[in-house]
Amino acid sequence: MKSKSSFICQNCGFNSPKWLGRCPNCGEWNTLIEEVEEAVDAEFSFPPSDPILYKDIKEAKRERIKTGIKELNPVLGGGVVLGSLVLIGGEPGIGKSTLLLQVSRDFAAQGEKALYVSGEESLEQIKVRGERLGLKNGNLYFLAETNLERIITHAEKLNPKIFVLDSIQTVFSSKLSSGPGTISQVREVANQVFRFTKKSQVSSFLIGHITKVGSLAGPKSLEHMVDVVLYFEGERDHSHRVLRALKNRFGPVSELAIFEMGSRGLKAISNPSAFFLKERPADEAGSVVVCTIKGSRPLLVEIQALVSSTLFTGNPRRMTIGLDHFRVAMLLAIVEKKLGFSFAGEDVYVNVAGGLAIAEPATDLGVIIAVVSCVKNKAIPPDMTVFGEVGLSGEIRSVSQPLTRLKEAHSLGFKTAILPQGNLDHFKKEDISDMKLLGVQNVKQALSSLF
């Protein structure tokens, strides 16, 4: 067998014949590690296929099993598909093992056979965690093992419906000589689990740790190999976690579920809007509630702004948390140009309360109102909510799903909404007839209706 070695970037998977201090592909330093590329024999476990006419292709009946966590099913596209491989990525300590233990526990309670393989924790440690999560005597098997070939052998013998591998970075294949966690190992592990998954028609979950902010390191290079990619994110200092789909071959993406970590594991939050608003201060200037859409669901969140005179004349601060920095800078420029405010001597901080990240332009108007409310030191009525995209000339542009947003606000007791005029004419107001709706065409109009 011929084997040659090459240097692989552990951040992005870039392959170089010689060592480099800095990866030319992703720009990270000291990420290239020498890995021996063994010529893995092309072992095709699928039968050779012939070309086929479109009309002769049979529609695949996807058998799905629902997880015991109601909020998780939409993220998976309506439950897990048998014979699919799901990758769950997230920072260490975010709750990936906890989530999958709970999922396995619930499957086992439904009578399905589940196998949970841990390369990270001993059986004793799993026992302790299981006690907290209330694991019972269901059909749930555990295996503490790091050798992939042995794991697959056990799995094939046991033939479970659900297979969890925790984590992809701690397991290694003896076919390769590089250490566990390297890119080539991670790929090989995913490959073998993929083949096992398809051959045995099990639902498999791979857990992958994110090593750096924003990059799935090794696991990033697997996204194309697996059927579903889920990310588990959250601030360490907040109790809530957001699970969202990044890729799903069997359903829509951008659905999300919000969980709270408690003493008995993760609990899905069934009313996220109420959760994110529960600590909102009443009658404080600089705070406004916006209706945003996350996945297919509406979500109400509080946007906070603080404007205070700067110590850094000539270079005042612009800080945003949970919002796009450049978008907020643009909105501040619009406020200066169109409304005559000046932030030249001011630091401006804009924050999404609760640690969520929002990328939707429908929050634009909310950001502007929060900032102006702070400057004028005038609070927004607590039962008012806003949404609308703002264009460069200060015009308010329509956004998608206005009624969905308004209904969510209505169900939480909001009485007034400021929204794009263009949206106002395009839906029936029956369900929310007691809400006062203010349609606006530009920021000037929006602010004069408030202040």
**Helix 123-133 and helix 96-109: axis angle, to 10°?**
70
d(CA 149, CA 172): 8
Shortest CB 313 distance to Mg ion, Å:
48
CB atoms within 10 A of CB 340: 8
Shortest CB 366 distance to Mg ion, Å:
37
Please say whether the beta carbons of 85 and 229 come within 8 A: no
Alpha carbon of residue 395 to chain centroid: 31
Q: How many residues in the shown chain lie near Mg ion by CB under 5 A?
A: 1
Residue 197 in the binding site for Mg ion (CB under 5 A): no
Residue 200 in the binding site for ligand TYD (CB under 6 A): no
- Quick one: which of 97, 169, 192, 351 contacts Mg ion (CB under 5 A)? 97
Output 37 or 121, the one with its CB closest to Mg ion: 121
Output 189 or 372, the one with its CB closest to Mg ion: 189
Nearest to 36, CA basis, from 20, 15, 63: 15
Across the strands, what pairs with 143? 117
Task: State the binding partner of 261 from ligand TYD, Mg ion, none, CB within 5 to 8 A by kind.
Answer: ligand TYD
Task: Give, in degrees to the nearest 5, the angle at Cα 269 between 104 and 63.
Answer: 40
Output 67 or 118, the one with its CB closest to Mg ion: 118
Shortest CB 108 distance to ligand TYD, Å:
17
The pair of structure tokens assigned to 368 is 């502007």
Please say whether the beta carbons of 433 and 411 come within 8 A: no
Task: Give, in degrees to the nearest 5, the angle at Cα 70 between 65 and 71.
Answer: 115
Please say whether the beta carbons of 346 and 311 come within 8 A: no
Output 132 or 429, the one with its CB closest to Mg ion: 132
Letters for 82-111 (x = contact with ligand TYD by CB under 6 A, - = none) are --------x-xxxxxxx-------------
Question: Quick one: which segment of 90-98, 182-190, 331-339, 370-378 binds Mg ion (CB under 5 A)?
Answer: 90-98
Nearest to 226, CA basis, from 238, 234, 216: 216
Residue 102 in the binding site for Mg ion (CB under 5 A): no
Output 20 or 133, the one with its CB closest to ligand TYD: 133
Task: State the binding partner of 93 from Mg ion, ligand TYD, none, CB within 5 to 8 A by kind.
Answer: ligand TYD
Task: State the binding partner of 313 from ligand TYD, Mg ion, none, CB within 5 to 8 A by kind.
Answer: none
Shortest CB 92 distance to ligand TYD, Å:
4
> What is the bridge-based pairing of β-strands 64-65 and 80-81?
antiparallel
Q: ω into residue 84 within 30 of 0, thus cis?
A: no
Q: How many residues in the shown chain lie near ligand TYD by CB under 6 A?
A: 15
Task: State the binding partner of 77 from Mg ion, ligand TYD, none, CB within 5 to 8 A by kind.
Answer: none
Task: State the binding partner of 132 from Mg ion, ligand TYD, none, CB within 5 to 8 A by kind.
Answer: ligand TYD
d(CA 299, CA 296): 10
Shortest CB 77 distance to ligand TYD, Å:
22
Please say whether the beta carbons of 346 and 335 come within 8 A: no
CB atoms within 10 A of CB 5: 13
Q: Which of residues 238-267 bind ligand TYD (CB under 6 A)?
A: 261, 263-265
Residue 169 in the binding site for ligand TYD (CB under 6 A): no
d(CA 435, CA 411): 11
Letters for 121-150 (x = contact with ligand TYD by CB under 6 A, - = none) are --------x--xx-----------------
Map residue 55 onto helix, strand or coil: helix
Q: Which parts of this chain interact with Mg ion (CB under 5 A)?
A: 97
Q: Which parts of this chain interact with ligand TYD (CB under 6 A)?
A: 90, 92-98, 129, 132-133, 261, 263-265
